[in-house]
Structure 1
Amino acid sequence: MSMLKKYIEQRGRTLDLEIVHFLGKRIIRKADKIGKKLKNKKITPSDQCVIDFIEECNVIRYAQLPKIFNDLQTKYDLEIEYAYLQQLDHLQISRVFDCRTFGEVLTTIGKSIRTRNKYKKWLYQAPLSFKKIRLTIGEFLICILMVIMFIVFKFNS
């Protein structure tokens, strides 16, 4: 397998394992924006954007989440803890605050999935960020090694 295919497979694995976390973060961000508008009385709880957001959260909960959990089960043999599933069952999403709570539960589930990764977590999942460049630790180590080799060969010849 070429290096590029291995790299794409590793990044895909990382993204698969983090999808629940990022889904929760997106829901929280959107709930905060809508909640701010509700607080400032720019919109009412019966406005279409609020209703659409609540429906979107319910679609994610009942349609997308079981599929995502099933994919994680089949691909990576990861089981979601019973306590988290019980929290999801007890949630009744009918308000924006309920959507935000749902997003928080998803982020905690996503964090638990990331920490239980049976692959080399430190190598693939801890991103180093500098301005707009995001590298995993493995990619960073490879770049450092290539720079050192370049310097050694440059001054050797």
Structure 2
Amino acid sequence: MKLDHEKLDVYCVALDFAVWAYTVCRSLKGLDRPMRDQLIQASQSNAQNIAEGCGKISAADRGRFLQIAGGSARECGAILDILGRCDVLDRETVLKGKNFLVRIVAMLTRMIEYGNLLREGEVEYEHVNENEHVNENEHEDQSGQLTQRETL
């Protein structure tokens, strides 16, 4: 038995990226530790926000979590760019990670756009006040009985 988010390709790719990132981060030590920690945190946040967003009933809430997940994926991309430019990771490793991230961001973008199309049309609701009377001259006395108000 699977939870709803586990059936999504984007969640599976996000998990694959998180595992890949964790494996890559094992080699990062010393000065690279803060970037390692940030990459692990952002990759986990990506998968976690996809999972949490899929549990939201309203399209607005779901979209918000998916946008946060997309932001985490982009953050991972920036971290890989920095590690690549500093020659901490080789070009091939950076490109492999970026391939995961491009897929994740593309899928999240489609999900968010699709979710924005699923909006309920505006509906006007008529408000009915139980305490309003059909006749302005009607009122309730202290016992709750409906009586006619005398008019001049």
**Which of the pair is proportionally richer in helix?**
1
TM over 0.5, yes or no?
no
Structure index of larger Rg: 2
Q: TM-score range by the shorter chain?
A: 0.3 to 0.5
Q: TM-score, normalised by structure 1?
A: 0.35
